Amino acid sequence: MDALRVEDVSLSIRESGILDGVSFSLEKGSFSAMCGHNGAGKSQLLRIIKGLARPSSGRILLDGRECSAKERMRRVGLVFQDAQMQMVAQSVEKDIAFGPENLGLDRDEVSRRVGMALALMGLEAHAKRRPQTLSGGELRKTAIAGVLAMEPDVILMDEPFANLDYPSTLTVIRSLLELHEKGFTILVVSHEAEKFLSHTDRLIVMSHGRVVVDGRACDEYHRLVENDIYIPPAASFEDLTWLA
């Protein structure tokens, strides 16, 4: 069963085509990577799936059924590129509680979900901290926890490794793997797919508003180099002069 199906989605803004007939689906419990150059339309697509923007045409299905934007707002979790922007409260736990409270859940249920999200992201020790005092990796984990507390059917992440150093990137990848193990359906949009591609089931590449690669990550990974998305590491110092 597909947790998410995007069917022939197009988007034009003031006559200019942003997305052009995008179709793909994510199997329940799968972990997928989406890549593509700046401006390819990835973030706009995530906003449409989440229900934050309306496509010019096309449909979004969850569990095989077309869903309104309002329903998708509730059932699809989107972790934005800028985690700082996602912080709304004065402490980590209050920030994580914000989403479930907005769903109108009672206090016990909110507290159960906050506890679950803190534990899943290993943030218990930081529960009382102010988001402004967190490191980049901790902030990103808080943003992910906030989305988990909504208990979404599908988790979308827009550039979760942006501005993270190597240890923080590893921490976020480990958290993603744990979520994958727990059965969440995850789509990660990233310019750094080489960092986690070996753990994913699927690779989708977008170019100029279209899907140009969609297949098993193990079969399609070489297309990252072909599509100028991944630059293989230099064999020697001299090789670093790739502008020459």
Instruction: Find the binder of ligand ATP among 34, 41, 142, 187 (CB under 6 A).
Output: 41
Q: Of 37 and 129, which CB lies nearer to ligand ATP in the complex structure?
A: 37
Footprint on residues 9-48 left by Mg ion (CB under 5 A): 43
Q: Of 12 and 111, which CB lies nearer to ligand ATP in the complex structure?
A: 12
* SS3 assignment for the chain: CEEEEEEEEEEEECCEEEEEEEEEEEECCCEEEEECCCCCCHHHHHHHHHCCCCCCEEEEEECCEECCHHHHHHHEEEECCCHHHHCCCCCHHHHHHHHHHHCCCCHHHHHHHHHHHHHHCCCHHHCCCCHHHCCHHHHHHHHHHHHHCCCCCEEEEECCCCCCCHHHHHHHHHHHHHHHHCCCEEEEECCCHHHCHHHCCEEEEEECCEEEEEEEHHHHCCHHHHCCCCCCCCCCHHHHCCCC
Q: Is 207 in the site for Mg ion (CB under 5 A)?
A: no
Choosing among ligand ATP, Mg ion, none, which partner's interface includes residue 18 (Cβ < 5 to 8 Å by kind)?
ligand ATP
User: C-beta of 79: minimal distance to ligand ATP in Å?
Assistant: 14
User: C-beta of 28: minimal distance to Mg ion in Å?
Assistant: 25
Instruction: Find the binder of ligand ATP among 3, 4, 18, 67 (CB under 6 A).
Output: 18
Q: Is 44 in the site for ligand ATP (CB under 6 A)?
A: yes
Q: What residues line the site for Mg ion (CB under 5 A)?
A: 43
